[in-house]
Chain A
Amino acid sequence: MKRKYVWVVSLAILVPLLTVFIGVQGVMAQAKYPAKPITVIVPWSVGGSTERVARVGAKMLSDKWGVSVNVTAKPGGKGIPGTVEALSAKADGYTLLADADGSNAIPAAWGKDVPFKIEDRTYIAKIAEFPWVFTVRSDLNWKSLDDVAAAIKASPEGIKWGWLGGTAGADGPVGQFRAALKQKGIDVSKVKMVTYPGGADLVTAVAGGHVDIGSASTTSVGPMFSAGKIKFVAVTGNNRYAGYPDLKCTAEQGWKTVTFQGHVGYAGPKGLPADIVKAIEEAIGGAIHSAEVKNELAKIGAVPAFAGSQDFRKYVLDLANELKGMK
């Protein structure tokens, strides 16, 4: 009997308390955005490019508004569970997604049974872009993508091409390059595609001579390159990369369709109110060109590449369309 009494008492305390609490939350929600800390969910590991760009973005927001913006990494499952969690949160602007090609265009184009549609989210702002580097074994005398193409043409079954299985941003340039090769009538179907679990593993495999070619981010190739363990043949894009001023970019080498850039931006659940989208958009757009932001991004090998809500949405949907059928 005594135990039942305890239950009644605790309920009697809890119920009014909860009511008050919910009431307070309701009042807070009506206050001007942002009225409480914001959480940015990164569906990848701490220290990766998405997480680090997300932190730069978080600093822009907290500097402007003085609220804390917490970047929380929820890695695993190729980024999909974390993405789903962020997008199924309440559309109140207090839970955002650090969105990247690995959570939008790549799974949309190549993923199998992905539990979300990339049309069903609110794109807020693109923050940064970064190029990818095509790297090859150091004992090969390939100097350009043309050399690679010639080698594949001569003996497709003799080439080992490392990638991440079509599940991550690093595979974007792979898809584009393969499509461009096919267009030139080069048979890529016999090339041995070797799958690695992550970018670092792939770079290590190239350095150890276990695969001939692979693409990786500028931050992950740096040390091995300076150690002379790997060589570069191209950096993706229309411009050279500041960190390797001598390395010709893909457009310069005549491969105008192989210009894939990685991107990171902020997105939110479907139906995010327009005034919140606008507020974040303005906060990021206003700070993006500061020297500090540029400097922080350069450490990750990225450059500021702001795009507002509408442009960001179009960018992702176009990218997904382009990648479809390229794998």
Chain B
Amino acid sequence: MYCFIGALLGTVVGVLPGLGPTATMAMLLPLTAYLDPTGAIIMLAGIFYGAMYGGSVTSILLNVPGEASSILTAIDGYQMTKQGRGGEALAIAAIGSFIAGTLAIVVLQLAAPPLADLGLKFGAPEYVALMLFCFTTLVAVSGKSKLRGILMATLGMLIASIGLDPMTGRQRLNFGFTAMMKGFDVIPVLMGLFGIAEILSSANEGLLSIYTGKLGRMIPRGVELVKGLYASLRGTAVGLGLGILPGMMPSVISFVAYDVERRSSKQPEKFGKGAIEGVAAVESSNNAASEAGLIPLLSLGLPTNAACALLFASFTMYGLQPGPLLFTQHGDMAWTIIASLYIGNVILVVLNLPLVGLWVRLAMVPYRYLGPVTLAICIIGAYSVRNTLFDVWTAIAFGILGYLMKARDWPAAPLILGFILGPALEQHFRATLQMSAGSLDIFLSRPIAILFLVMTAAVLILSYRKSIAQAFKRFG
């Protein structure tokens, strides 16, 4: 019951752009204080789920991702909506999430401790290699021009380095403003680049509603469904594999899943133009990853992302210490949570498949109403992250930037990828060099790092094989 309320609340709040799982949980956390510990934690888990799914609704229908990990859902999902296939996209997102969620819980139940151990093997050098691999997915998301994509990613990294040096705390690029020492948070940037920019350009095009065609089917046709299911299985595998790594960001995982899917597809050119596999893979990997994140949380007390950190805080608020002892000391509690996760998944599907029709109708609201409302919610979302007006100005500034970029056909996804990955890469790279006293040999002494570096090289060679072959021909 708590789980149902949680999932419902989570979806409803999560549907509002800018309010991803973390913000939703932080907002609803005080509400759970009136319940007993088990009920409260189950409800929080429900909220977590619901908010994850809610985020994809706006990505698909309005091209406004609620959080970093649904940026890629927006790419293909919004195209599908424009083609009148919004219902299908939403359905596959729900089905994919369900498959991924259920499989992830089975794994969580069976193999939590050894998997958590594996996650610990990832130190700074391994993360550097993995980040480099992620950057090669840039090619996949940069649209028509690779050069523009790389330039945008660089700009993203540059913007991300505003604030304080993460290692020494020294101010950099803040031009002496105290407010800018905080740097830009990812949510206001997202709200600006995607949300506000989308609203501005739609208003400019004089769009009355997002699409005036028919609702579209609710359930994808047979072939599409099969394609989507396979894609969601692959997405689940990626999500599970990377989700157990501490400090791994869900957004990174979704980039990898999208790339894997595009590469394994027979028609990679369809991606970015409304490929159902794109939506399915990203949504499944998101869900699998968020549940895989519970593995280190429950077995080692290790929060892998901000939402898990909030769950961790609510555990300790009730005097429960997540970790191996949770199962021995509070066994009933631990198993209740796991059972509630199963139920939560079922509830999400039951709740959302019928609601698909409702959400789709949302997209048919005339834009003159929908636009301003979305704009207001985007701004509230930006404010809610850190309770500062600075973030609101950030969102507006990035909205204008995003609008200009859209008009000139500069891709926004690489910018946000650079913005998210840049600081992580910097931090891990500098920590690596501190470990090795400045020598790069450390990468070659770490087997996992070598594996990712070889994969990165392979991907680069494959993507550019034509130009490399031409170069060889030319120079004999």
Contact = CB atoms under 8 A, between A and B. Distances in A.
Interface in B145-169: 163-164, 166-169
B109 interface: no
Interface in B108-165: 120-124, 163-164
A208 interface: yes
B302 A197 contact: no
A299 B183 contact: no
Contacts of A194: 124, 431, 434-435
- Per CB-CB distance, the 4 closest pairs between chain A and chain B, nearest first, are A223-B301, A223-B323, A47-B313, A76-B182
22 contacts: A46-B310, A46-B313, A47-B309, A47-B310, A76-B182, A76-B183, A78-B164, A81-B179, A157-B437, A165-B166, A192-B435, A194-B431, A195-B167, A195-B431, A204-B246, A207-B120, A209-B120, A210-B123, A223-B300, A226-B324, A226-B325, A299-B319
Given A75-B386, A219-B316, A197 B26 contact: no
B427 A222 contact: no
Contacts of A207: 120, 300
Nearest to B318: A299
B264 interface: no
A205 interface: yes
A229 interface: yes
Contacts of A193: 434
A210 B387 contact: no
B398 interface: no
Contacts of A195: 166-168, 427, 430-431, 434
A204 B309 CA distance: 14
A72 B387 contact: yes
Interface string A134-164: 0000000000000000000000010010000
Contact of A222 (B29, B123, B323): B323
Contact of A299 (B29, B168, B301, B317): B317
A46 to B, nearest CB: 6
A94 B383 CA distance: 21
Interface in A216-247: 219, 222-224, 226-227, 229
Nearest to A46: B26
B299 interface: yes
A201 B247 contact: yes
Given A47-B310, A223-B324, A81 B181 contact: yes
A77 interface: yes
Interface string B343-367: 0000000000000000000000000
User: Which of B300, B322, B427 has the most C-beta atoms of chain A within 10 angstroms of its own C-beta?
Assistant: B300
Interface in A99-142: 107, 111-113, 115
User: Which of B167, B183, B309 has the most C-beta atoms of chain A within 10 angstroms of its own C-beta?
Assistant: B167
Given A73-B387, A81-B182, A196-B431, 19 more contacts: A47-B310, A77-B164, A78-B164, A81-B181, A81-B388, A85-B388, A112-B168, A165-B166, A165-B167, A166-B168, A192-B434, A204-B120, A204-B302, A207-B120, A209-B123, A223-B323, A227-B323, A229-B120, A300-B316
User: Which of B310, B324, B431 has the most C-beta atoms of chain A within 10 angstroms of its own C-beta?
Assistant: B431
Interface of A: 45-47, 52, 72-78, 80-81, 84-85, 107, 111-113, 115, 157, 160, 165-167, 192-197, 200-201, 204-205, 207-211, 219, 222-224, 226-227, 229, 299-300
B169 A167 contact: yes
Contacts of A210: 123-124, 435
Contacts of A222: 301, 321, 323
B435 A227 contact: no
A46 B23 CA distance: 11
Interface string B384-403: 00111000000000000000
B410 interface: no
Contacts of A224: 300-302, 323
Nearest to A227: B324
Contacts of B312: 47
A157 B121 CA distance: 22
Contacts of B302: 200, 204, 223-224
Given A157-B437, A204-B302, A111 B386 contact: no
A80 B169 CA distance: 10
A226 B298 CA distance: 12
A222 B319 CA distance: 12
A306 B120 CA distance: 39
A72 B386 CA distance: 9
Query: For the side of the interface on B, what is the size category?
Result: 35 or more
B170 interface: yes
A229 B121 CA distance: 12
Contacts of B164: 77-78, 80
A317 to B, nearest CB: 21
A69 B213 CA distance: 52
A235 B19 CA distance: 40
Interface in B289-317: 299-303, 309-310, 312-313, 316-317
Nearest to A112: B170
A74 B171 contact: no
A300 B317 CA distance: 8
B267 interface: no
A316 to B, nearest CB: 19
Contacts of B434: 192-195
B178 A80 contact: yes
Contacts of A300: 316
Contacts of A196: 431
Contacts of B310: 46-47
Contacts of A81: 178-179, 181-182, 388
Given A208-B121, A210-B124, A166 B247 contact: no
Contacts of A208: 120-123
Contacts of A167: 168-169
A229 B324 CA distance: 11
Contacts of B163: 76-77
Nearest to A167: B169
Interface in B421-449: 427, 430-431, 434-435, 437
B315 to A, nearest CB: 10
Nearest to A76: B182
Contacts of A165: 166-169
Contacts of B124: 194, 205, 210
A293 to B, nearest CB: 15
Given A76-B185, A208-B123, A166 B169 contact: yes
Given A194-B435, A204-B246, A111 B169 contact: yes
B40 to A, nearest CB: 14
Contact of B299 (A192, A197, A209, A227): A227
A227 B431 contact: no
A219 B178 CA distance: 31
A226 B321 contact: yes
Nearest to A243: B321
Contacts of B120: 204, 207-209, 229
B60 to A, nearest CB: 30
B327 to A, nearest CB: 11
User: Which of A47, A74, A300 has the most C-beta atoms of chain B within 10 angstroms of its own C-beta?
Assistant: A47
